[in-house]
């Protein structure tokens, strides 16, 4: 379940965003990021793994591995752009310890990409619902 294997770093995502001329190209890039997520197991598409507060259907699972223990995430959505947002969040959070995850300032990190200004209010709320779910997983790890 190494969801980080095909993900770009946040620095690479920020750099790519800065090189793209318009939001149409950035949206395509975000969708491409989502396509690189590993396949999500059908058996994990349960209500228990569903992220509440998202208009689209979103599922997250996690596991703790290694020493020191780090959290790896895997997720999926029924919406292409949301899958890309999941990939961005996993670039920000996956492979970190619970304490590191809880220290991440997602609002600042995501502001560097300018996402909030270009997502609908409902999609922005869903994005932060995903952040809260990741933080809850870390708090309980």
Residue 96 carries which DSSP code? B
- For residues 24 and 86, give the distance between their C-alpha atoms in angstroms, rounded to a whole number: 19
Would you call 93 helix, strand, or coil by DSSP?
helix
54 is catalytic: yes
Catalytic residue of the set 3, 54, 86, 130:
54
Contact 58, 51 (CB under 8 A): yes
Neighbouring CB atoms inside 10 A of 127's CB total 23
Phi, psi of 17 (to 5 degrees): -55, -40
Residues annotated as catalytic (active site), given as ranges: 54
């Amino acid at each position: 379940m190494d969801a980080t294997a095909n993900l770009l770093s946040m620095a690479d995502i920020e750099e790519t965003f800065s090189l793209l001329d318009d939001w149409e190209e950035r949206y395509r890039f975000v969708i491409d990021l989502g396509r690189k997520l590993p396949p999500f197991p059908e058996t994990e598409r349960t209500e228990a793994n569903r992220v509440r507060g998202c208009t689209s259907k979103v599922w997250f699972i996690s596991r703790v591995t290694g020493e020191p223990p780090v959290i790896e995430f895997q997720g999926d959505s029924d919406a292409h752009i949301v899958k890309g947002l999941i990939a961005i969040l996993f670039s920000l959070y996956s492979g970190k310890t619970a304490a590191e995850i809880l220290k991440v300032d997602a609002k600042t990190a995501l502001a560097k990409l300018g996402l909030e200004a270009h997502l609908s209010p409902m999609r922005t709320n869903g994005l932060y619902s995903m952040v809260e779910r990741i933080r809850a997983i870390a708090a309980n790890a």
